[in-house]
Amino acid sequence: MTVLTDREKEIVDYLYTAERDAREVVKVTDKYPELTIEEAYVIQDRLLEHRLSENNTKHVGVKLGLTSKAKQVMMGVDQAIYGYLHADMLATEWEPVKYSELIHPKVEPEIAFLLGEDLEGENITADDVIKATKYVAPALEVIDSRYKDFKFTLVDVIADNCSSIRFVVGSKWISPESIDLGGIGMVMSKNGRVEQTGSSAAVLGHPAEAIAWSVKELSKRGKGLKKGDIVLSGAMSEAISFESGDSVVAQFDGLGSVSMFCK
Amino acid sequence: MSTKIEEYASELLEAEKTREGIAPLTERDSSLTVEDAYYIQLEMVKQKLSEGRTIIGKKVGLTSAAMQKMLNVDEPDYGHLYDDMELKNEAVVKVDSMLAPKVEAEIGFVLSEDLAGPNVTFLDVMMATKYVVPTIEIIDSRVADWKIKLIDTVADNGSSAKVVVGDKQSTLEMLDLRTNSMVLYKNDELIATGAGAAALGHPAHAVAWLANKLHEFGISLKKDELILPGALSGAVVVEAGDTIKADFGPVGAVTVHFE
C-alpha cells in the first residue's frame, strides 16, 4: 500500500469524485501552481491505483495525448503525454455510451495497437513497436476533462489521467505488417455529416513513432508496455463534441471503421 | 436442496439416454432459481466425468435479442461440451439419437491461453484467440416439446447436444467478426442468414461474458477448449434426410447430414 502525502490524497479524491459524479472542477494548478510534470505523473499513478480499487476494474492499456503538432502548439508544449486505460472504460459499438456519466465529452479517432510482446527501454524504435504489435485496429477515444470548460495546463491534464474516460475498438483487426501505418486516411462523421478528416501521419509523423516515444518516456519512470496491452496511439484529427442522441463513425482507409452512439 | 439438485440432474441424464422428455422443472418446482439450475448442470458435469467423459469446451446460449425476448431474459446462459458431443465436418447423425434436434450456426473459438474472470473484455478474448472455426451446434431439449423457461434450459446443459466442427482454422487477422457472413442451407436451399454481431454484438464479447459468468462458479476458460459464442440466426428444425451447411465466408463452411 502506497502512503500518500496529504496533497496527493486531496488531489486524488478531488479528481476521482469529479469523474465519478460527472462534475467539472476548477483546475488543480489554481490551488497548487508549483506542481511539476513529474509530480503530476505521480498523482496520476495514485489516482489510477485508487480508481482500480474503487471501481473494481483492471488495467487494459495506455493512451497517448498531445501527439499532434497543432495541439502541442496550442498548449505551448513540445511533448506528448500518456495516461492509462481501465477495463471499465471500454465501450462497445453495440451498447450506448451514457451521456449522464460524462461531463462535456469529445471523441477523437485513433489507431489502436494490440501488443503481442512487452515493450520497454530507452532505445525502442518505431520498428520495434511494429514487431511487438500483434494487431492494429480502428478506435474512437472519448475524452472528458474533469476541468471546467476543458481548459487546463499540461500538469493539470497529466494529473487527470489525460482526460481518459471511454474508448471503443473496431472489430476488424489486422497485422501491422500488412498495411502502411504512416498514411492511413480517416473520415469522422457525426449523424452522417463529415466533421473531421485526417491521416495517421498527424500522430507524431507515424503512430508507431508516437508509441516508441511513450515507451522511452515510461522507461524514465521505470515502466513499460506489457503484452496484451492496448495502446491508443493519438488523435488523427481534432476531437469533436457530442451529446445524447449523437452517433459518430470513423472510417479508416484499409482498416475498416468504428462507431459509437450516445444515449 | 442438494438432494433435489442431484435428483433433477439424474432425471435429465436419464431423459438424454432414454430420449423421453421430462416435464419442465419450473412447472414442478417454483422455488428453483437460476443459480440452482446451474448447480443442477454442474451436478450433471460431475456424473458425466465419473462416467469417463471429458469436457472439451463450453457454449453460450440465448445470445440473440430474439431468443432473450422469447424467454423473457436479459442475459445469456451457458452449457458444457463433452468429448462425445464432437463431430467432424460431413458427419452423419441419427435424428432418433436425440429428442427433437435443431441446428444453429456459430463461429467457434479456440483459445491459446486460459481466460479467467472477472473483468475479461472482448479485447482479452481477441488477444487470446488461437483460431476460429466454422461450427454447427445441434441443440436438443431433454424437456418434453421444448417447453422451456430459462431455468429449464440452464439445468439441461443449455439444451446442447452435439457440435459439428469444420476443417478450416483461421487466425483473426483481417477478419471482422461483427460483420462476418453466415449463410445457412438446408438441402441446398438458403434458409437463414446472419452475421457475427447477432451473438451479443460481437462473438468475442459473448466469450468474454462467459469467462466472467464462469468466474461466479470458480471456473475459467481453458487453453485449447472449444467455445461456442452463440447462434448467428434462429435455430432450424431438422429431420432424417436433411443436409445442413453453414457457410461463414472467410471463416469457412461446415456440413452435417441427418438420417
pLDDT digits (tens, 9 = 90+) for B191-218: 999 999 999 999 999 999 999 999 999 9
Contact present, B81 and B57 (Cβ < 8 Å): yes
List CB contacts (< 8 A) between B174 and chain A: 172, 174, 178
Among the listed residues A151, A178, A162, the one whose alpha carbon sits nearest the alpha carbon of residue A61: A162
Min Cα–Cα distance to chain B from A181, Å: 15
List CB contacts (< 8 A) between B196 and chain A: 171
Q: Residue A184: which CATH number?
A: 3.90.850.10
Place of cell 513540445: A78
Domain residue limits at A191 = 6-261
Cα gap B239→B243, rounded to integer Å: 9
Q: Residue B129: which CATH number?
A: 3.90.850.10
**A174/B178 Cβ within 8 A:** no
Asked if residue A131 has pLDDT above 60, the reply is: yes
- Report pLDDT digits (tens) over B25-67: 999 999 999 999 999 999 999 999 999 999 999 999 999 888 8
DSSP state for residue B152 in the 8-state scheme: H
If you average pLDDT over residues A26-32, what whole number do you get?
A: 97
If you average pLDDT over residues B57-86, what whole number do you get?
A: 94
Cα gap A85→A95, rounded to integer Å: 19
- Report pLDDT digits (tens) over A167-226: 999 999 999 999 999 999 999 999 999 999 999 999 999 999 999 999 999 999 999 999
Predicted-complex ipTM score: 0.89
Which of B114, B122, B124, B127 to mutate to test binding with chain A, by most A CBs within 10 Å of its CB? Answer: B127
Cα gap A178→A194, rounded to integer Å: 28
Cα gap A175→A179, rounded to integer Å: 8
User: What is this structure's pTM?
Assistant: 0.93
Domain residue limits at B114 = 2-258
Q: Is B145 left (phi over 0), alpha (psi -120 to 50) or beta?
A: left
What are the C-alpha distances in Å from A105 to residues A22, A140, B193?
10, 12, 38
Choose among A95, A230, A256: nearest Cβ to B123: A230
**B202/A171 Cβ within 8 A:** yes
Count of CB atoms situated within 10 Å of the CB of A88: 16
pLDDT for position A128: 98
In a domain, A234, yes or no: yes
In a domain, A1, yes or no: no
- Report pLDDT digits (tens) over A145-165: 999 999 999 999 999 999 999
Asked if residue B110 has pLDDT above 60, the reply is: yes
pLDDT for position A1: 55
Place of cell 497548487: A32
Mean pLDDT estimate for chain A? 96
Name the β-bridge partners of B160.
Answer: B139
Overall number of domains in chain B: 1
Tell me the torsion sign for CA atoms B104, B43, B226, B72: positive
Place of cell 488523427: A236
Contact present, A115 and A227 (Cβ < 8 Å): yes
